[in-house]
Amino acid sequence: MIELAKLKDIESGVLRECSIDTGQGQLSLILIEREEGFKAYTNSCPHQGRRLDFAENQFLMTENQELVCPAHGAVFELNKGYCLSGPCKGQSLRQIDIKVDEESIFAILE
């Protein structure tokens, strides 16, 4: 397990980029707290594998709190990471399993 963030540093509903060292290289993840709990996805668009942040920790969002890829405009809902429209419609962001304890959120990597 790798710590992604401290709970005290999380702003609910705001996407946060987390770079972690997997032991086999760096991996960039996106973390968000939703009503249903925390979600983590790889920061990589299924269309061409580009990052989804356009600047450090900056993401494009729709009015409905969907994530927009800054490269070609794919739109992702963030309950399951499903692409609703754009060039990779029907595909999904890769979801990462997480664990939350009293203090922190962790990524569970296989």
CB of 83 to ligand FES, least distance (A): 8
Nearer to ligand FES, 72 or 80 (CB): 72
Strand, helix or coil for residue 8: helix
**Placement of tokens 């609910």 in the chain:** 12
- Rounded to the nearest 10°, the torsion over CA 45, 53, 85, 83 is 50
Q: Residue 51, interface with ligand FES (CB under 6 A)?
A: no
Give the C-alpha distances (Å, rounded to integers) separating 13 from 9, 16, 34, 39: 12, 9, 6, 10
Q: Residue 29, interface with ligand FES (CB under 6 A)?
A: no
Backbone phi and psi for residue 9, each to the nearest 5 degrees, phi listed first: -95, 0
Q: Residue 60, interface with ligand FES (CB under 6 A)?
A: no
Q: Residue 50, interface with ligand FES (CB under 6 A)?
A: yes
Q: Residue 5, interface with ligand FES (CB under 6 A)?
A: no
Contacting ligand FES (CB under 6 A), which of 19, 22, 48, 85?
48
